[in-house]
Each structure stands twice: as structure tokens, then as C-alpha cells.
Amino acid sequence: MRVLGIETSCDETGVALYDSERGLLADALYSQIEMHIEHGGVVPELASRDHVRRLIPLIEQIFHDAGIERGDVDGIAYTAGPGLVGALMVGASTAHGLARAWQVPVLGVHHMEGHLLAPMLEEAHPDFPFIALLVSGGHTQLVEVRALGDYHLLGESLDDAAGEAFDKAARMLSLPYPGGPQIARLAERGNPQRFRFPRPMTDRPGLDFSFSGLKTHTLTAVRKLEAAGELDEQARADIARAFEEAVADTLVIKCRRALDQTGLKRLVVAGGVSANRRLRERLDAMVAKREARAFYPRGRFCTDNGAMIAYVGAQRLAAGERDDTSLRATPRWPLAELVVPQ
């Protein structure tokens, strides 16, 4: 089955062609980061308008890159949620319009299911079941993945997602959006011995996360140095290092607990924050001690992308799922509402 995947949930326009027999045929991604930098974050109306401008040219590009005729697909998958409602509507309306023109089935899929299964696009991919850490700007969740659509939520953030905490910490340090890569670059020059920030909710049982206290601790450290006239470039780097290490350690501790609790030996890490080098190093060290293995999507598939949507769409369309004529755009869509294909 050959499927066109469309991703427009937030600030990246992603499209891809996936073939069940040949794998990924072509993919393209346009990031709106430069447009949103001056606003310090994503402006929903601007994001939606830019998806309108970029989507059709990108679709034409991947058909050309794959060397196949436009419309030569067996189905179309698009992100139906969660995400920004206007951005989701752009993808949904385009997918339904093309599906009607090409007379193929169309299906709205869950954005986070795409991230969950993004490592399946790699040659070395995990078998079911496995533990998945979904860690991005909007989500921090630990999920037991038993099969396609069979997901059991083990823990999640009670407040800010890890990626959101990175963005807020970056603003405290006068770093531009998006905060994750900026914090990571600055942290490389930081002294790991100068500060030690708390590892939130690791001193109690359970698999939930909370990053609000860490955010407050970071702000207090910044203001204290500012008041003393000591917030120079090295101090900013030292704070960035302490913050990054606290987030990484917290995520690793919770992943370790999830593996121990379930007895599973495979860990999938996906979402934008999964690209963080320090996090990967510490996760790899942790799973090695347990004779387990960690799986990551390639760099460009850590963030939002069309390939993961095309892959999930191919699995579910092959199982007979499809939309009716109604457009689906669900800004809030719990992962637990997904079902196993029949």
C-alpha cells in the first residue's frame, strides 16, 4: 500500500510517501521556526496561513522526488490531532480534497501515535511490546506499547512538558526560540559542578513528571545572579548545563522505573527533545546496564514530520480504517482513545 502522509499539527509542514513494501519513498519538511522567532513562540494564525502556502508545493515536490505520478497512491493519511485547530484544518481539508479528486480512502491519524511509531521507519526497529518515552514541546508521556493501537499510559507530565520547560528556561537566559537546541548549545560550555538543580518527582514512587518546580528553581538562580551583578556568559552557560542535566536525569530515572516495572527490554524515545545528545547518552548507558536497548528515530524524524503520519496511516488503512466525508480536527485527543485495528 502506498500512502501520502500530511502533517500540519503546529509549526512544521511535513509530507511523505510511504510504501508498505518499499518503505519511505520521499519526504519533505518546511519549518516555520524563522517566522515565529520574533514572537518568541508559535502564533497559531500565522502557522495556519503558512501551511496553506507550503502544503501543495511540498506534495508536488515529493511526487517528483519519488518519480511517480501525482495521485498514484492507495490512500492519504493526515494528522487529525492533537494540535492547533486551524493548522489541523489545513491538513484535513487538503487530504479530503485530494482523496476525493483521486478517489482513494483518507484517514485522520493521531499525531502522538506517529511519534510512537516513528522508529519503525528505521532499518533497526523495535518489535512489540516496548516502552515509549514521548518527549516534546507539548507532551511528556511514558507509554507501554503492546501493539498497534494498544497503548497503556504509565505516566505523564502534570504541568509543563519537557520541551515547554526548555523554551521557558531559554527565555529566562535571553535565548531565542526554540529553547531546546539553544539550551543544549549553551550547556556545552557550562561547568557541571557549579549548580545542581532538583530532579523533580524522583524522590517518590510513580512515573508522572512535573517540571514547574525546576522552572521556578531556574528562575530563582537567574534572578539571584542578576541581583548580584554576576549573570555573565559563563554563569548563563552553567545554569543551562544544570537545567539540561536535571531534565535528562529526571527522564532517565522515570524510564528506568518503567522498564523495571514492566520487565520490558526495549525503549523507544521520540519527539523533539529525543534529539538531545545528553539525554541519549544517559539513556543508552542506563539501558546497557539492564541488557536492554533504546531505539530512536533519525534526527529529522524526531520533530514533527510527514513520514511518521504516512507510516501510521498505511498500517491503519491496510486494516480497513478510513474517514467518512467529515473533516476531523481534534485539538485535544487523548492517546488512550485509540483502538486496536480489527
299 is in an annotated binding site: no
Buried/exposed code over 104-140 (b: 16+ C-beta within 10 A; e: otherwise): bbbbbbbbbbbbbbbbbbeeeebeebbbbbbbbbbbb
CB under 8 Å to 174, separation ≥6 — which residues?
236
136 is in an annotated binding site: yes
137 is in an annotated binding site: yes
134 is in an annotated binding site: yes
167 is in an annotated binding site: yes
91 is in an annotated binding site: no
135 is in an annotated binding site: yes
305 is in an annotated binding site: no
36 is in an annotated binding site: no
Q: Are strands 2-7 and 266-270 parallel, antiparallel or unpaired?
A: unpaired
238 is in an annotated binding site: no
152 is in an annotated binding site: no
- The answer to whether 219 touches 239, Cβ cutoff 8 Å, is no
Sheet holding 140-147, edge to edge: 150-156, 140-147, 130-135, 266-270, 293-295
Of residues 57, 132, 137, 91, the one with CA closest to residue 303: 137
Residues at the binding site are 111, 115, 134-138, 167, 180, 276, 304
Residues at the binding site for substrate are 134-138, 167, 180, 276
Residues at the binding site for Fe cation are 111, 115, 304
